[in-house]
Amino acid sequence: MRRLRLLFAAVLIVVLSVPAFAGPKEKEKGLAGRIDALLEQPDVSRGFWGIEIVDLDTGRTVYSHDAEKLFTPASNTKLFTTAAALALIGPDYRFRTTMESNGTIDKYGRLNGDLVLVGRGDPNLSGRVLPYSVKTERTLPATKILEDMADQVAARGVKVIDGNIVGDDSYYVYERYGEGWSQDDLVFDWGAPVSALTINDNVIFVSILPGANVGDKAFINITPFPEYYKIDNRITTTPAGTGPRKLYASRQPGSETLTLYGTIPVDDPGASQMLAIDNPAKFAAELMYQLLEQRGIAIYGKPVTKHTDPSSLSTFSVTTVASAGGGQEARKPMAPQPTVLAEHVSMPLADDVKVTNKVSQNLHAELMLRLLGKIKGTSGSIEGGLEVERGWLTQADIRPDEYVFYDGSGLSRQNLVTPHAIVKLLTYASKQPWGQTYIDAFPVGGVDGTLADRFKSAVMLGRVHAKTGSLGHVNALSGFTTTLKGQRIVFSILTNNHMLTGKQAHDVIDQIVTDVVEGKK
């Protein structure tokens, strides 16, 4: 009985040493406790959160929450696309755009054939300043590169073109949009169509100013090439002080009529918007036609396009010819090589990787995905690129059950990935010869890109290198940071199905990263 009383006393001492009603936040101290407390806030806990935070040098997991579950990654998809491009294509790759013809130029300057503008996926045939520094700058005219190419044609002595001006984007398959893209995205710059012949990010710049008097239609200015779209202007000027402007844009798929509607107060300073064009190759052909005419070149043909139809990838036929020895494959004679009359060579691929990740440029990521398929796979198509990417990810020890991608940009809502897979990708990339180029392309907290307005405190400024991601009810941030004690960290934070505003979601994510950096116990 005495031994029983002693045992009871020992148990009583242990029980009394634990605070009554201790909840998980009280029992769990340190970083894990602070992150758990953030995630348990009522508005935050309604969404789904996946987090993995790892010591980059030791591989030790600092914190994990549902890191093996699948989440919609939004633009964190670009982390995979750009890493694969640097690994397989290389940071020094350059795009080549040409103007070619199978015709000849006679002594009078007459070109007796079509003049073909051949796109090979260059994403920067625009006025964008490269290399990227802090923010996007467009100091040159959007058509400057095409103007230079038109000058080259004129300098070759071409005065008359008997054929057509062809916009040729057949280098990639004609798949303008990805699976799982929302239809209402396709009017705007972030949903611009994909084409191997991309001019000015496949957008037009629309500037809107109020009319001179109440009731007047708004003034609308479009660059470049305002003739491409037929504009249906339904924007009305309203009295001063009648509230914020309400401007909308609408275009039916395949239509070249752009409807602008809404209201703008007479004292409004004006607004601007980038709107997507519908058929990039047609836009390029018509624009080049105009530029050549401006240089005094007479053209007897018209602007036309050349595409590679997706259905052509699924067919295969062999033509046979009879011979004394039986059937054999026909050998088609080599087609004569066209004469190059103008050429533009891009900046290195590394520069575009920086643009793609710094500003989260969807179109550029999609072009990069197709480049993977064209150079390293079976075709310059979405599936061709994804097939190459899947093979490379397996090599990087990322399992097929840890992700599924339908595009290269993250605009598709059908993409899925685990935070653990992202951390594995970033860890692997950091150890590759191209790893520093990759990391340098990430937005820097408080400094540039999509993180310019986040992590601006004295402690956090310049300390976070990470890729953002956002869709409706989806936010993501994955990348690298260094704690105040010098510990190098790789992390991935994904949240889906939340009802927070963008700022609220950012605040929670940023607080998690800040807690990691400060390393408070």
The pLDDT of residue 151 is 98
Instruction: Single out the residue of 482, 23, 116 nearest to residue 306, CA to CA.
Output: 116
Which of 181-185, 311-315, 490-494 is the least confident region? Answer: 311-315
pLDDT for residue 22 is more than 80? no
pLDDT at 333: 63
Q: Kindly list the distances between the CA atom of residue 325 and the CA atoms of 319, 333, 500, in Å, as whole numbers in the listed order.
A: 16, 20, 74
Query: Is the pLDDT score of 108 beyond 60?
Result: yes
Binned at pLDDT 50, 70 and 90, residue 19 comes out as very low
Contacts 24+ apart (CB under 8 A), 140-148: 141/224, 142/199, 142/200, 142/205, 142/223, 142/224, 143/199, 143/200, 143/224, 143/225, 143/287, 143/291, 145/97, 145/344, 146/199, 146/284, 146/287, 146/288, 146/291, 147/291, 148/342, 148/344
Across the chain, mean pLDDT equals 91
| Contact predicate 510/454, CB 8 Å | yes
Strand ranges, E, within 217-289:
219-223, 230-238, 246-250, 257-265, 271-276
For 86-90, 181-185, 272-276, which range has the lowest pLDDT when averaged over its residues? 181-185
- CA distance readout (Å), 515 to 33, 35, 179, 342, 461: 11, 8, 38, 55, 14
- What band does 314 get if pLDDT is binned at 50, 70 and 90? low
367, pLDDT greater than 80: yes
Lookup result for tokens 């790789």:
490
Report pLDDT for 519: 86
**Pairing mode of beta strands 403-404, 416-417:** antiparallel
Q: What amino acid occupies position 170?
A: S
When pLDDT is averaged across residues 249-276 and rounded to a whole number, the result is 93
Question: What percent of the chain lies above the pLDDT cut of 70?
Answer: 90
Give residue 252's pLDDT: 86
Domains of the chain: 30-90+348-518 (3.40.710.10), 96-310+335-343 (3.50.80.20)
Instruction: Determine the pLDDT at residue 332.
Output: 56
In this predicted structure, the answer to whether residue 324 has a pLDDT above a threshold of 50 is no
Nearest to 115 by CA among 136, 101, 135: 101
Is residue 442 over pLDDT 70? yes
Q: What is the pTM of this model?
A: 0.89
Q: Residue 10 — pLDDT band, cuts 50, 70, 90?
A: very low
Tell whether the model's pLDDT for residue 190 goes beyond 70.
yes
Q: Is the peptide bond before 73 cis (omega within 30 degrees of 0)?
A: no
Which of 98-112, 215-229, 320-334 is least confident? 320-334
Question: What is the average pLDDT across 312-333?
Answer: 45
Is residue 25 scored above 50 in pLDDT? Answer: no
Q: pLDDT over 90 for what percent of the chain?
A: 85
Strands 160-161 and 110-111: parallel
User: Which residues, other chains included, contact 411 with Cβ-Cβ below 8 Å and sequence gap of 6+?
Assistant: 178, 180, 181, 182, 185, 190, 191, 362, 471
pLDDT of residue 8: 35
Least confident piece of the model among 265-274, 330-339, 356-365, 419-428: 330-339
